[in-house]
Chains A and B, each alone.
Chain A
Amino acid sequence: MSERLTASAIVAGVRAGTLSAVDVLEQHLAAIDGRETEVHAFNLVMADSARARAAEIDAAVAAGHDPGPLAGVPVALKDNMCTRGVPTTCSSKILEGWKPPYDGTVVSMLRNAGAITVGKTNLDEFAMGSSTENSAFGPTRNPLDTSRVPGGSSGGSAAAVAAGFAALSFGSDTGGSIRQPAALCGVVGVKPTYGRVSRYGLVAFASSLDQIGPFTQTVADAALALQVICGHDPMDSTSIPESVPVYSAALDRGVEGLRVGRIRDLPEGADADVAERVEQAFDALAAAGAMIVDVEVPAFTYGLTAYYIIAPAEASSNLARYDGVRYGMRVDAADTDSMYMATRSAGFGDEVKRRIMLGTYALSAGYYDAYYGKALRIRRLMADDFARAYEHADVLLTPTSPSVAFPFGAKTDSPLTMYLCDTYTIPTNLTGEPAISVPFGSGAYGLPVGVQVLAPSLGEPVMLQVAAELERAAGGLS
Chain B
Amino acid sequence: MSDALWELDGYEMVVGLEVHVELATNTKLFSSSPNRFGDEPNTNIDPVTLGLPGALPVLNRHAVELALRIGLSLNCTVQACTFARKNYFYPDMPKAYQISQYDQPLNVDGWLDLPDGTRIGIERAHMEEDAGKSSHAGGDGRVHGADYSLIDLNRAGVPLVEIVSRPDLRSPEQARQYVTELRGILLAIGASDAKMEEGSMRVDANVSVRRAGAEYGTRCEIKNVNSVRSVGRAIEYEAKRQILMLDAGESVRQQTRHWDEGDGRTHTLRDKENSDDYRYFLEPDLVPVEPSQEWIDQVRAALPVLPAVRRARLAEAAGVAPDSELIMSIVDRRQDQYALAVQAAGGDVGRAVVYIKEAFAELGPEPTLPAADVAALTRLEVEGALTATQAKSVLAELVARGGGDAAAIAAERGFAAMDTSELAGFVDAAIAADPEAWAKFCAGEGKAMGALVGHIMKASKGQADGKLVTTILNARKS
Chain A residues with CB under 8 Å of chain B are: 81-82, 88, 90, 95, 98, 100-102, 104, 199-204, 206-208, 234-238, 313-314, 316-317, 320-321, 323, 325-327, 336-337, 340, 360, 363-365, 368, 372
Contacts and interface: CB of A to CB of B under 8 A. Distances in A.
B50 interface: yes
B52 A101 contact: yes
Given A235-B56, A326-B50, A363 B89 contact: no
A201 B47 CA distance: 9
B149 A321 contact: no
B117 interface: no
Return the 9 tightest CB-CB contacts between A and B, nearest first.
A320-B96, A363-B279, A208-B284, A207-B284, A203-B53, A201-B54, A82-B54, A321-B51, A365-B277
Given A237-B57, A317-B87, 12 more contacts: A98-B53, A101-B47, A101-B52, A200-B54, A200-B55, A200-B56, A204-B54, A204-B285, A314-B281, A321-B96, A363-B280, A363-B281
Interface in B246-304: 277, 279-281, 284-287
Given A237-B285, A237-B287, A364-B279, A320 B89 contact: yes
A88 B53 contact: yes
Contacts of B151: 325-326
Nearest to A208: B284
Contacts of B87: 316-317, 320, 363
Contacts of B94: 321, 325-326
Nearest to A207: B284
B54 A104 contact: yes
Interface in B78-96: 85, 87, 89, 91, 94-96
B237 interface: no
Contacts of B6: none
A236 B50 CA distance: 17
B279 A102 contact: no
B54 A235 contact: no
Nearest to B95: A321
25 contacts: A81-B54, A82-B52, A98-B53, A100-B53, A100-B54, A101-B52, A199-B56, A202-B54, A208-B284, A237-B57, A237-B59, A238-B285, A313-B281, A317-B97, A320-B87, A320-B89, A320-B96, A320-B97, A321-B96, A323-B89, A323-B96, A325-B151, A326-B50, A327-B50, A365-B277
Contacts of A102: 47, 52
Residue among B52, B95, B149 with max Cβ neighbours from chain A (10 Å)? B52
B58 interface: yes
Given A100-B54, A236-B56, A314-B284, A360 B279 contact: yes
A321 B53 contact: yes
A323 B211 CA distance: 47
A95 B53 contact: yes
Contact of A327 (B52, B85, B280, B287): B52
Contact of B58 (A234, A323, A365): A234
Q: Which of A206, A235, A314, A360 has the most CB of B within 10 A?
A: A235
A200 B153 CA distance: 21
A326 B280 CA distance: 24
Contacts of B97: 317, 320
Interface in B144-194: 149, 151, 153
Interface in B227-247: none
A91 B371 CA distance: 74
A102 to B, nearest CB: 5
B51 to A, nearest CB: 5
Interface in B364-422: none
B269 to A, nearest CB: 15
B285 A326 contact: no
A364 to B, nearest CB: 5
Contacts of A321: 51, 53, 94-96
Nearest to A202: B54
Contacts of A336: 91, 149
A80 to B, nearest CB: 8
Contacts of A104: 54
B53 A317 contact: no
A367 to B, nearest CB: 10
Contacts of B58: 234-237
B81 to A, nearest CB: 14
A321 B49 CA distance: 12
A317 B278 CA distance: 10
A401 B153 CA distance: 45
Contact of B51 (A101, A236, A326): A326
B101 to A, nearest CB: 15
Nearest to A336: B91
B103 to A, nearest CB: 12
Given A235-B58, A237-B57, A237-B58, A317 B281 contact: yes
A234 B89 CA distance: 29
A393 B97 CA distance: 42
B133 to A, nearest CB: 13
A333 to B, nearest CB: 12
Contacts of B153: 326
A326 B94 CA distance: 8
Contact of A325 (B47, B57, B91): B91
Contacts of A95: 53
A314 B58 CA distance: 18
B87 to A, nearest CB: 5
Contacts of B286: 237
Contacts of A314: 281, 284
A321 B87 CA distance: 10
Interface string B106-122: 00000000000000000
A207 B96 contact: no
A206 B281 CA distance: 13
Nearest to B51: A321
B285 A207 contact: yes
Contacts of B85: 317
Contacts of A337: 89
Given A237-B56, A237-B57, A325-B151, A320 B95 contact: yes
Nearest to A319: B96
Contacts of A82: 52-54
A375 B89 CA distance: 26
Contacts of B54: 81-82, 100, 104, 199-204
A164 to B, nearest CB: 29
Contacts of A200: 54-56
Contacts of A81: 54
Nearest to A82: B54
